[in-house]
Amino acid sequence: MVDAHYSDPDLAALYDLFNTWHSSPQNPFYLELVMAAGDALDAGCGTGKLHRTARERGHRGRLVGLDPAEAMLRVGRADREDIEWRLGDLVAGPSQGQDRGPYTAEFDLVTMSGHAFQVLLTDQEARAHLAAARRALRAGGMLAFETRNPAARAWQKWTPQHERRVTAPEGRTATSVHTLERVEGELVTFCTAYRIDGWKEPGHSRSTLRFPGAETVNALLTEAGFAVQGQYGDWDRGPLTDASAEIITLARAL
């Protein structure tokens, strides 16, 4: 099931407000990879900000944005029509159009940015999606993704005391507040409340994310037919340590 903040049109419209291009150093990191790739697939693309920016910067190859939430794709499609916007996921592939079904050896790069890997809550789900990413890549192609380092315990800051506030169109104020519900092993469940001036009631979304360690991630990649090319703890490609906020992985398709 797709979380409400991706599937609800009102909440999807707020996504880019809370996730502007300059708000995260992950964006230039992934953009560099996309600009160097001939054909690129962004799995779990959301509003497709990565590929939209790549096209604006002059990327001439094939760019595909794949996401299970039509509301998010609608935002991207409204901005640019020169990107292939596809409803679906890596395992099943696009669910509509002539290219429905899993992708096979069509891309030089597959990205799963925005912590998309963390919505895969079991080894079984992760295996299926990594195998699908390998199938979608040409030999020697690259898979790039990040997952929050469990040692950093990011969920401890998912509290009402860490409210996010941005200015929406027409000067209205929009807020986002996380409330941690439970931590069960690698799984963290939290609720997010969104409010914007003029709404009668806030919008709510509940999410569960998995926090696997690097050893688990690497074992799953090896099983799926990848070789880890680089693994970093920050977006400047610094080493991965227990204090690192992220586990950023580049893996080559064998």
CATH number, domain of 100, equals 3.40.50.150
Query: Cα separation of 32 and 113, whole Å?
Result: 13
Q: In this predicted model, what pLDDT tens digit does every residue of 6-23 receive, in sequence order?
A: 445 566 666 666 777 787
Tell whether 20 and 124 lie within a shared domain. yes
- Same domain, residue pair 30 and 44: yes
Same domain, 170 and 239: no
Give this prediction's pTM.
0.90
CA pair distance 67, 190, nearest whole angstrom? 22
Task: State the residue range of the domain holding 158.
Answer: 152-209
- Do 91 and 101 reside in the same domain of the chain? yes
Over pLDDT 90: what percentage of the chain? Answer: 75
- Alpha-helical segments (H) within the chain: 4-7, 9-18, 26-36, 49-56, 70-79, 123-136, 214-224
CA distance 119 to 210: 6
86 and 55 belong to one structural domain: yes
The Cα 28–Cα 50 span in angstroms is: 9
* Claim to verify: residue 98 and residue 199 sit in the same structural domain: no
CB-CB contact of 89 with 68 (8 Å): yes
Residue 85 has pLDDT above 50, yes or no: yes
Residues 42 and 59 in one domain: yes
Residue 204 and residue 216 share a domain: no
57 and 175 together in one domain: no
At 208-233, the pLDDT tens digits run 999 999 999 999 999 999 999 999 99
Q: How many domains does the chain have?
A: 2
Query: Could you tell me if 162 and 223 lie in one domain?
Result: no
Q: Are residues 65 and 167 in the same domain?
A: no
Strand partners, 195: 175
Picking from 109, 111, 106, 104, the residue whose alpha carbon sits closest to that of residue 132 is 104
Whether 165 and 197 map to the same domain: the answer is yes
Going by C-alpha positions, the residue among 132, 138, 134, 130 that lies closest to residue 38 is 138
